Each structure stands twice: as C-alpha cells, then as structure tokens.
Structure 1
Amino acid sequence: MTRVATSTARLPDWSSLSERGRVAALEQCRRRLADLGRKLHAVEHIYHAEAPGQGPLSGLPYVAKDMFATGRSLPSWGCATPQAPALPRASVIDRLDQAGACLIGTATMTELAYEASGIGRRGALNPWRFDMIPGGSSTGSAILVAAGCCFAALGSDTAGSVRIPAHCCGVSALKPGNGKIPLDGAMPLSPSLDTAGIFARSAADLALLWPVVSGETQVSSDGPLRAVMLQDALDASDGEIAAVVRGAANVLAASGIAIEERSGFPEDADRQTLVVLQAEATREHRLRIEDTNIDPTLRKRLRKGLSVSDSELASALAAREELRGQFVLSYLGEADVAILPVMPIRTPRIAEVDPASADFNPRVLYALSRFTRFANYFGLPALAAPAGFDSRGMPVGLQMIGRPGSETLLLQIAVRLQERTDWHGRVPMEVLPDIAAET
C-alpha cells in the first residue's frame, strides 16, 4: 500500500509562546479567521477586535460553536436562520472572558448538532483533504483549531461531536463528564447526554483551559498509572486504525503506564444511548419536524424519535447507573483509563456519508460514533488525541475514557503522550500553502 506523505510543518501551541509571541499570535489568528477560516467555510460570525483582558488566558484567541449565546450575535444552531432568542451570554463564555481569553468568532456546525459527518449547509472543508469529511457536529471548531485560525474552541458533544471532528482534523479535544462545563446559554439536543467540550492544538493547552471552563483545581497524580485496551474495539476496527492506536499505546507503555488488554465492549449501553438520543432529540426539536427549511434527512431522523415511547425512554435512563457500574467494574477494573480508537474506520470520503450521493453507505455513517456514544450515556470524561496518520496521510485519533472526575488525569496522560511524539500541531496539507505564504 502506497503511503501518502504528511506535513511536517508545525503550529505552535499557546503554552510554548512568550508574552510577545502571544500578542503576535492573536493578530495572526484574527487575519487567518477572516481569510482561511472563510475559505474552509468554518466561520459563522467574526467579532471585531476587543482588547485582551487580564488573567491566566490573557490574549488567547478562541471561537465558540454557533450554538452558544455569546451576547454578540444570535446563534444559528447550524440552520439557515437564527434559531435562538436573545439569551443571556453562556456562563462558559463569561469564564473565558474573565480569564482574559479573546472570543474572535463563532464556528459553523451541522444543523441542530445532530450529524456526525460534519456535512452541513456551509459545506465546511477538512483542512487535511477537502474530499474527506471534517467530522461533526462541532465541525468548524475543530477545523479552525487545526488550520491555525485560533488556539482553542468550544464545542458540544452528545454522542461524539467533539471527539469525532478532533479525529478527522487532527487536534486534541476533551469531553468532560456531564455537567462539568455549564451548558446554560447553549442549544440542547439530548439533555441526558449533552456536554460542552474544548478543542486545542495540544493537551498542554487543554490543561490550561480546563480549570477556567470547569472552575476546578487541577490535581496531578504522582502514583503509578494503569490503562486497559478494549480489545473488542480494536478487533472491530480497520487494520490501519488498530495499528496506529496500538503504536500510541506503546508510547504510553514506554513512559511507564502499565497497559493490559481486556475483551468486551458495552453493547447494551450503546443500544440504550441510541434510544435516549433519538427520543430526547425529538422531544427537544419536535416543532422542526415539519419545518421545510430544515434538511429533509434531519427531519426524517427527528421523526424516527416519535416511535420511542416515554416508558422506553424512562427505561433506558433507569438502566444507566447499573450499566455504568458494570463498565467501571468489568472493563476498567483497577485501571485508571480505557484506551480505544475514536472511530473504528478511517476518515471517510464525503460521498460515503452523503445521502444524496450514489456512493452513500449508511453503515459508514453509523460507524462514526460507534466508539464514542456510550461515554455520553455513562457521563464519563473522554479525551481524543492525535495518535498518528493512516496511509492516505489523514490523522487518526486515540480515545481515552476515564472514571468520574478524572479529567485532570486524562489531560496528564495526553500531555505525557505528546511530550514523546510529534503527531499533534501538524499543519494540514490543504492549508499548508496558505500558511507558508504568510512567512
């Protein structure tokens, strides 16, 4: 198999910049957002310059998925027209503002955050290859971080909507446990599964962001760390995906983390997740089922949730605590984290997941969130980090799922991985000429 070369050029992360470098980086991101961000169809709104505030994130340029109330524009929720009333600004935006971060715009998303491929009305482009999906539904957030248009981004994750685009675009992302980042001022999709999440160029930058967005103090673990590889997930994955993830796990093992393989996959939890997602999404957006301004495929998906009764939804929610306990006991055991791919397949071509295409394959679309959904049902934190590249030069993401409250530990392990590798922060191939032309 011929292997396509990948870019070796790198983007700096915020953690590595001097104070002077950060001032220049903010202005550079503003220019890139207006030019490259629009070229990639990843920008919904651009905000005029405001002086950076003082705080631990002073001057850090970030964007928010266009489902958060920013107080500066009405969120579109990925639709053709604004869908939300003028809500008070989301408190997570306030937290970032108080820490000195600069909100420079909002990022495109798929309609109602209910599409994992990233295909949407804006036609957002994967900065690695334009014929490949960028992942969704936090599509623009991942694209803009990957393309160097910002250093961080807010997204949401209901069934993988932060981790999937992180995999497809080659960036780092954290989906915390349920409720760890406030969701006021954000569009709901499935309240029992919804979480806010964060993207960055590196895990070190995620670690800077985490105390600010969560309000929690980071506590490092100095003891020995243990991880389990979910063998059934690797066996069910494309051979290239499994090989890349195993390679990243070997790096962690060489760093001193004890890793063992364990069979099984929480299939029952995955089925219950789909019940909850379909039922709650329909109940939240029932009025849009007959709205002809909404994509027909999405309206069909919403209509499907009408077949889930209230009792079926209640039963799926009632089973959550027992199934989560089984996962922690049977899969994690004494380990700190579970390791598996973000996706079982390589990033697919757009045509494979576009219902309007002759090459559409519904199994491919279903597979995108196959390994991410259950973490939302359990409310467990999960982190996606670049783990290498496939033979087409596309990034591949490793996923780590931790125990309740283990966000800081996940970040610590991801930083350890990135201290020993150079898979993160690469300049994507499609935007390499644009970025090279700046120097």
Structure 2
Amino acid sequence: MTHANTQDTIAHYFSHCAAEGRERPEYLALSLRKRLELLERNPALAADWAAQYEGWSEHADSHYRCLTSTRSFTAPWLRLGVKDTVDVAGFPTRLGLRSYRHYPKRTADALTSLDPRIALTAKVATTELNIGFGAGCRNPYFPTIDPSGSSTGSAVSVAAGLCDISLGTDVLGSVRWPASHCGMVGLRMTQKAASLGGVFPLSPRMDALGWVTRSADDLDLLFPLLGLEPLLGEQQPVKASYRIGVLEHALDPSLTSAAMLDMLAQARSALADLGMPPSEVSMPELWACRGDAWQLCARDAWLASAAWARRFDCELHWSTNSALAVGAGVSDADYQRIHQRMDQVRAGIDAWFDSAKVDFVVFPMDPNRPFDRRNPQPGDSTIPSPADADYGQKIGFTPLASFSGLPAITVPISLSADGKAPLAVQIMGRRDSERQLVDIAKRLQALVGPLPTRRLPV
C-alpha cells in the first residue's frame, strides 16, 4: 500500500467517525428559569428539546471530551452530570484511572432525593485519583485556558451545555478552579463527613461536595430541587443586606497580580453599589495554614496509596506519583500538628466571624489569572511542596475554605486584558451558609452581568 493510500484510508475512516448535529440547539441558550417556565406551560417541549440534544450532544462531546458515561432518559427537563469519583448505581466509577472501574450497588447519598425534573444523565471526566494532571477536557469558552482541577468535567460539561448542573468534589479548589476557569459559577459546600457517602475520599477532613452551574441564578433555581435538605443542616438566614470583608492578606501586590487586584476592585465596587461596601479584614491564623492544607492532603493521599495499589493494580500517571511523593515527605509529627491546628481553627472560626462583624470574606480566586494550556504546567505536581519556588503563590487562596471547612462560591467578574481568560472572585461564608452564598452571588452577578464570550467554537 502506498503512503497516499494510507492517508486516504485513514481519512475515509475518520469521515465515518464524525457525529451529526453540529448546530447547538437554540434552547440551550435560554436561562434555566426561562426553560422551566416554558416547560411548565408546554411539557411537550421536553421531547422536542431532547431530540435536538441527541442530534448534537455526540458531536459536542467529541469536541469537549468531558463525558465518560451516559444514559438515556425520555424527555428530561434538566440534565445532571456527576464527577466520576462519585458513585451512581448503573454507571461504572473509574476514578480517573485508565484501567480501573467498579460498579457500585448504591448511589451516593447526595443524589438520592433529586426532584423528578432532574435526570442524572452522565458521569463526567476527572483527573487521576483527584491529584493527577489533566482530565483531557477542552475549555468551551476559553480554549487556550486549562480547565484545571479534578472536577474539570463538571465545569466543562456545564459550560458546553451538555449538562445543566454538575456535581463535583472540592478538596482544595477542585470545583472552584475549573468553574472559574470556564467562566462558570462553582459552589463548595460546608465540609461534612455525613454528606460524603459514596464519594471517593482523598483528604477526609477537607473533602466536600461542590456544584457547577452557568450562573448564580441557575444555581438559585436548582438548589431546592437537589434534595439536599438532610445534608444542609440549619442554614444561615438569607438577609436583605450582608456585612462583607475583603481579605487584606490577598491585597499584597507582591503576591496577587495587578489583573486580579483590578478584578477584585471591580467586585468591591459592585458590592458597594449593592449597598454592601466591604471593609478590609485580617485572618492571620487561617492565612498561616494555607500550606498546611496542602501538606495534609498530600499526606492523606500517600497514606491511602498502599490500599490504592492493592485495589487498582495499574500504573499511575507520573504526576500522580509526584503528588504522592510530596505526601511521603510530610512527617508523622507534622501530620499530627496539622490536625491539631485544624481543630483549633475550626473551633474558633465562628468567633472570628463574630468579632470581625462580617458574614462573608471576599478574595480573588487565585493570585494570578488562569494558566494558558499552551505553556508548560508549572511544577511537576498538582500538590506544591514547601521547597518549590514561588510557594506562596502556588498554595494560593483556595485552602482558606478547605482548612476551615467552610463553604465558598466563585463568581466570574471580568476578562483578562487580552480577553482570553475569565477572572473570578471567591466568596467564603460561615458554616451552613450555602443559601446565603447563592443569594449574594446572584445579586453580584446580576449587577456585573455575564462575561462577554464568543459562541461555542464547535
């Protein structure tokens, strides 16, 4: 066979691999509130929309590569995706591994009371064991930006329109990073062991559920339909006005880039326009624990790795092994010290909010804009080591909610100067303040408006 014939043959093969339906269904551009309003008036629309979705979704997923398993539902009103470290009966759980799967008999506790209008239609991609590099997904609106984070598939599936809401997990930012990098809204919930049945554990004292939606309004609409009441506890009351603090540690220009400080200034101005001008607050005890959070996660992963090796019997990615090596370097004495420090921080966090007289603390999502995927990934591990250069920037701001066990939400505020990266703010609340966080995020986003983005490049 000649070289030319080989090229023709492979071209012929790929011509039969192309999925049909390149046009994104118009109904996906509607807000979820508008879609539900139309469906309640005319339920027959669901079948028509489902037919449009089926003709388009295969092509979309071949482009964005965020779904690992799917199942069909007859005319679902709303589609839910679930990170592939969360068990769902009838789906394999792969944990981001290339050669592993198990078939759970039970669905994770967080998914057992969904409103009938929400159909669990897909498992979505994750990184290897939550700590490796890359889930293979493509960022829908910001194609040069690495979606990042182990809950990458949760954010990409929502940004692409393949899911209306997606469940992920957030240990040190695993929901908040990909949500913010895709221009979406991401909520990390209060850390509660009781809510994590059926969820693969990474760092049990920091593991938390997280949700991704296109907007805070979508999350506000869907939150009551998720059946989370048994997991939420007694919620902080929604108020007409909130007291807001801006974290002064994050205002250091030697730590936080000018672009992120400018974004934060825009968020502060918007909050002031909403009648809630922020004051500056300091959290020295929690701020000093950011590195401890990473060390705790690394050590937890390393301690679990012996059990992983017996169960998985497969070769791990080099980046996963690099993260485990960081954990191997955390001593037993440091591990014990970090646990004791976490106990102290969590025991005193309510008193800190009371003394600071704030309901929320606001700070940038990260010290710098999201990384460009065309540049080499900084470092050789997703878990930074104290020996790394620029360690203060690498540990970032996401550990603040993780170490304290608090909920936090990320909201896109603006674009980078070149228009290629979304810049997001992070809002951290008291324990059990999820409804408050959704409320303040909805008000903030209504004022700053949606990010100017191009049509999905499918």
TM bracket (short chain) = 0.7 to 0.9
Residue 93 of structure 1: how far off its partner (Å): 2.3
Extract unaligned runs of 5+ from structure 1.
Answer: 1-9, 53-58, 435-439
1:257 counterpart = 2:292: no
3-state SS of the aligned residue for 2:166? Answer: strand
1:119 counterpart = 2:146: no
Residue 243 of structure 1 corresponds to 262
Among 299, 302, 320, the alignment partner of 1:298 is 320
Residue 345 of structure 2 corresponds to 323
Residue 100 of structure 1 corresponds to 117
1:70 counterpart = 2:85: no
3-state SS of the aligned residue for 2:278? Answer: strand
Residue 104 of structure 1: how far off its partner (Å): 1.8
Residue 261 of structure 1: how far off its partner (Å): 1.7
Among 70, 86, 96, the alignment partner of 1:46 is 70
Return the letter of the residue paired with 1:46. Answer: T
Return the letter of the residue paired with 2:222. Answer: L
In structure 2, the CA distance between the partners of 1:66 and 1:220, relative to structure 1 (3 Å rule), is same
Residue 345 of structure 1 corresponds to 368
The farther-off stretch of 307-316 and 388-397 is 307-316
Q: Counterparts of 1:127 and 1:181 in 2: how far apart (Å)?
A: 34
In structure 2, the CA distance between the partners of 1:229 and 1:295, relative to structure 1 (3 Å rule), is same
Residue 416 of structure 2 corresponds to 390
The farther-off stretch of 24-33 and 139-148 is 24-33
1:285 counterpart = 2:305: yes
Identity %: 26
Residue 16 of structure 1: how far off its partner (Å): 2.7
1:109 counterpart = 2:126: yes
Among 273, 285, 300, the alignment partner of 2:293 is 273
Residue 34 of structure 1 corresponds to 58
Q: Counterparts of 1:83 and 1:400 in 2: how far apart (Å)?
A: 36
The farther-off stretch of 322-331 and 30-39 is 322-331
Q: Counterparts of 1:47 and 1:222 in 2: how far apart (Å)?
A: 40
In structure 2, the CA distance between the partners of 1:376 and 1:218, relative to structure 1 (3 Å rule), is closer
Q: What aligned pairs does 1:18-33 form with structure 2 within 5 A after superposition?
A: 18-20=37-39, 23=46, 27-33=51-57
Residue 228 of structure 2 corresponds to 214
Residue 165 of structure 1: how far off its partner (Å): 0.6
Residue 3 of structure 1 corresponds to none
Residue 339 of structure 1: how far off its partner (Å): 0.3
In structure 2, the CA distance between the partners of 1:264 and 1:374, relative to structure 1 (3 Å rule), is closer
Is residue 384–residue 397 contact of structure 1 (8 Å, CA) maintained in 2? yes
Return the letter of the residue paired with 1:348. Answer: F
Q: What aligned pairs does 1:80-229 form with structure 2 within 5 A after superposition?
A: 80-96=98-114, 98-115=115-132, 119-120=134-135, 123-179=136-192, 182-211=195-224, 212-215=226-229, 216=232, 220-229=237-246
Q: Counterparts of 1:288 and 1:222 in 2: how far apart (Å)?
A: 46
Q: Counterparts of 1:31 and 1:246 in 2: how far apart (Å)?
A: 44
Residue 7 of structure 1 corresponds to none
Q: Counterparts of 2:217 and 2:299 in 1: how far apart (Å)?
A: 37
3-state SS of the aligned residue for 2:406? Answer: coil
The farther-off stretch of 334-343 and 230-239 is 230-239
Residue 14 of structure 2 corresponds to none
3-state SS of the aligned residue for 2:156? Answer: helix
Q: Counterparts of 2:66 and 2:217 in 1: how far apart (Å)?
A: 24
Is residue 29–residue 61 contact of structure 1 (8 Å, CA) maintained in 2? no
Is residue 193–residue 205 contact of structure 2 (8 Å, CA) maintained in 1? no
Residue 9 of structure 2 corresponds to none
Residue 114 of structure 1: how far off its partner (Å): 1.2
Residue 27 of structure 1: how far off its partner (Å): 4.9
Residue 274 of structure 1: how far off its partner (Å): 1.9
Instruction: Please list the CA deviations of residues 135-157 of structure 1 after superposition, one character each: whole Å capped at 9, or x if unmatched.
Output: 21100110111122221001000
TM-score normalized by structure 2? Answer: 0.81
Residue 19 of structure 2 corresponds to none
Q: Counterparts of 2:392 and 2:166 in 1: how far apart (Å)?
A: 26
In structure 2, the CA distance between the partners of 1:166 and 1:257, relative to structure 1 (3 Å rule), is same
Q: Counterparts of 2:409 and 2:235 in 1: how far apart (Å)?
A: 16
Is residue 138–residue 165 contact of structure 1 (8 Å, CA) maintained in 2? yes
Return the letter of the residue paired with 1:349. Answer: D
Instruction: Please list the CA deviations of residues 171-207 of structure 1 after superposition, one character each: whole Å capped at 9, or x if unmatched.
Output: 0111010128822112111111101111111112212
- The CA RMSD over aligned residues, in Å, is 2.9
Q: Counterparts of 2:151 and 2:347 in 1: how far apart (Å)?
A: 29
Q: Counterparts of 1:27 and 1:175 in 2: how far apart (Å)?
A: 33
Is residue 60–residue 101 contact of structure 1 (8 Å, CA) maintained in 2? yes
Residue 81 of structure 1: how far off its partner (Å): 2.3
Residue 410 of structure 1: how far off its partner (Å): 0.9
Instruction: Please list the CA deviations of residues 43-74 of structure 1 after superposition, one character each: whole Å capped at 9, or x if unmatched.
Output: 1112122454xxxxxx2112111111111221
The farther-off stretch of 11-20 and 25-34 is 25-34
The farther-off stretch of 364-373 and 336-345 is 364-373
Q: Counterparts of 1:254 and 1:288 in 2: how far apart (Å)?
A: 51
1:408 counterpart = 2:408: no
Residue 55 of structure 1 corresponds to none
Extract unaligned runs of 5+ from structure 2.
Answer: 1-27, 382-387
TM-score normalized by structure 1? Answer: 0.84
1:233 counterpart = 2:253: no
3-state SS of the aligned residue for 1:224? Answer: coil
The farther-off stretch of 40-49 and 263-272 is 263-272
Q: Counterparts of 1:19 and 1:171 in 2: how far apart (Å)?
A: 24
3-state SS of the aligned residue for 1:256? Answer: coil
In structure 2, the CA distance between the partners of 1:432 and 1:364, relative to structure 1 (3 Å rule), is farther
Is residue 142–residue 169 contact of structure 1 (8 Å, CA) maintained in 2? yes
Residue 271 of structure 1: how far off its partner (Å): 2.5
The farther-off stretch of 339-348 and 304-313 is 304-313
Q: Counterparts of 2:395 and 2:218 in 1: how far apart (Å)?
A: 25
Q: Counterparts of 1:195 and 1:130 in 2: how far apart (Å)?
A: 28
